[in-house]
Structure 1
């Protein structure tokens, strides 16, 4: 580290001079801010995306398999293998959202739950967080209850196979790769 005195968080913060809402939809809001940096420079086009709080779940069944999902992801135009994930609805805690999403997307419930990390999708241009959970001992109790845009194939994989998939780079969603690495770092 340089011998310079470290600046405080307040000294490094940008000052928002004005804000203009460009998009205001339930699942996405976008605004253009005019900001002044600590060095005095002003930028009149800094864009911030606002999404609801996200959750994801590494779910392990009673017999030790990991629940994975396959679904089409239009942004990249690919079918992606992922862990369960979704959006926190108004009035829910992150845990309640995670439990609801797991049941809706896979039909699995119960088990013992713990939050293993909270991460930012992109703190530079996005203002939401993603709460990552590990649920072990879940069991199939219902059918899927999917949204109109969801077409999810549910798969059960042994833990070692999921770890090999992670090592091969089979998972492309960064918000899922991070908790999977954490899971395997504390559960092997």
Structure 2
């Protein structure tokens, strides 16, 4: 039996009884999330397109890769295509899947789908949501790595996606 405590946008806070593998019965609260797409946009000259976004939850700016929540049962790829254009003003027909990332498994069921976008085309479409304040910036991979080392970049999805792309030989 589950009880929805609160719903906001496309996420819900749900409490339910769960039987663990060891047989213990516990009450667990989960943030139920439809999933998201994270995009690593790479320009022709191997620059990475990033966003500097004000995050109200943290009350500060975060340097991160463009990403967004899956809407209306769209596929992760369609979400990635939409979010890339909405947040950066670039589009692409060349996406490479890097698999999935589980950012908050202790209390959230969100799965983030990681993509590289190449062959970027600048478009006129750039339309943030009402609660998004975004500046688009570009960096070389080495600059991003230095910002991760220095602590200027702390966003887990950005670090995970960049790491996966490097480990897979794409960067």
Report the equivalent of 1:4.
none
* Unaligned 5+ runs, structure 2: none
Structure 1 runs not aligned, ≥5 long:
1-17
TM-superposed CA distance for 1:40, in Å, is: 3.9
- Determine if the alignment matches structure 1 residue 113 to structure 2 residue 108: no
Q: Does 1:182 align with 2:164?
A: yes
Instruction: Find the structure with the greater CA-based Rg.
Output: 1
How many matched pairs?
170
Contact 1:27 1:51 (8 Å CA) reproduced:
yes
Deviation at 1:111, TM superposition (A): 4.7
The structure 2 residue matched to 1:172, chosen from 126, 151, 154, is 154
Per mean C-alpha deviation after superposition, the further-off stretch among 122-131 and 94-103 is 122-131
State the shift of 1:38 in Å.
Answer: 4.1
Q: 1:107 to 1:39 in 2, by over 3 A?
A: closer
- Is 1:58 the equivalent of 2:46? no
Distance 1:37 1:187, change over 3 A: closer
In the TM superposition, what whole-angstrom CA distance separates every residue of 1:88-116 from its partner, at most 9, and x where no partner exists?
Answer: 11141111110110001111012521111
Provide closer, same or farther for how the CA distance between residues 38 and 140 of structure 1 changes in structure 2, counting only shifts above 3 A.
closer
Higher relative contact order (CA 8 A, sep 6+): 2
Corresponding residue for residue 6 of structure 2: 23
Q: With structure 1 as the length reference, what TM-score do the two structures score?
A: 0.82
